[in-house]
Amino acid sequence: MQISPNLYRIGRVLLASLFVISGAMKIAGFSGTVGYMTSLGVPLATFAVLATILVELGGGLAIMAGWQTRPVAIIVALFTVAATLTAHRFWQADPANAQNQMINFLKNISIIGALLMLAAVDTDSKKAS
């Protein structure tokens, strides 16, 4: 199967931009993010926010640059699974928020799928052909 290098790069950058922007916003609103994570019951919320910033900003930039894409995409996918199960529990949400939480849950499931596809593509062997 032939992949288009340009489409692949554009898709990689667009997918990663979500994480880069989200990580940067967590830096800008650090105390608010810690408060939000605390309200979700996340233990060691300050440490969790620091780890989240590292994964989102660092992982997003690595994916954008094409550096260690496969392992980084897997790490970011696992992080997204944890974040989804922590923050978007639509089955526990009050009726007014259930639909919004379900939309965010499903959006994240789609993002996890894209990250897994990114990890599955062996771009190094494609460059050799």
Q: How far apart are the first and last CA of the chain?
A: 11
Q: What is the largest CA-CA distance in the chain?
A: 53
Q: What is the pLDDT along the chain (129 residues), one digit of tens a residue?
A: 677 889 999 999 999 999 999 999 999 999 999 999 999 999 999 999 999 999 999 999 999 999 999 999 999 999 999 999 999 999 988 999 999 999 999 999 999 999 999 999 866 545 533
Give, to the nearest 10 degrees, the angle between helix 30-39 and helix 45-53: 120
Eight-state DSSP code of residue 67: T
Provide the token pair at 1.
């199967």
> CA 2, CA 125: separation in Å to the nearest integer?
11
